[in-house]
Amino acid sequence: MPPRKPRPTPTQRQFARHLRVKQTDCELHVWQKLRARQLLGLKFRRQHPCPPFVLDFYCVELKLAIELDGSQHFTAEQLAYDWRRTDHLQGLGITVLRFNNRQVLEEMNGVLEEVYRVAEQMLEAPSPQPSPGGRGS
């Protein structure tokens, strides 16, 4: 079982609120397509704190994160950081989808189709069943 996600501090929650107010154009475009359960009836949150990070978009039900990367993410240092971040999130059982801003602006339908495809697969995957007889059996 993956480790539990740590609870955000008040400072992290405040930072997430700040990011919601200052969202980028790309984040706004994606949010307009995810909000109000428009994709498979799933509830997505934007700028969701997941210490020590804030996820651009997150579906609690599926443990699915969607990250949008601007041009600053293409340096070697930032790419390495993003890989460590994704690895950490996957260690918590979170699936991470990454898209760059160009994809969002020029290929929005393709981005949404990929999110839809992955979410649909996750919904169809059998959930783990408890062992018969309870603990340790």
pLDDT at 8: 86
Percent of the chain with pLDDT over 90: 66
Percent of the chain with pLDDT over 70: 86
Q: How many CB atoms lie within 10 A of CB 107?
A: 14
Residues 39/116, Cβ–Cβ less than 8 Å: yes
Kindly list the domain boundaries of the chain, sorted by start residue: 24-124
CATH number of 24-124: 3.40.960.10
pLDDT at 5: 67
- Integer CA distances (angstroms), 94 to 2, 9, 64, 71, 75, in order: 9, 20, 6, 24, 24
pLDDT greater than 80 at residue 85:
yes
| Tokens found for residue 42 | 């799933």
pLDDT at 127: 64
CA-to-CA distance for 100 and 89, rounded, in angstroms?
18
The whole-chain average pLDDT of the chain stands at 88
Q: pLDDT (tens digit, 9 = 90+) per residue, 109-124?
A: 999 999 999 999 999 9
pLDDT at 131: 47
- Alpha-carbon torsion, ordered 126, 51, 26, 65, to 10 deg: -10
Q: pLDDT (tens digit, 9 = 90+) per residue, 56-71?
A: 999 999 999 999 998 6
pLDDT at 73: 58
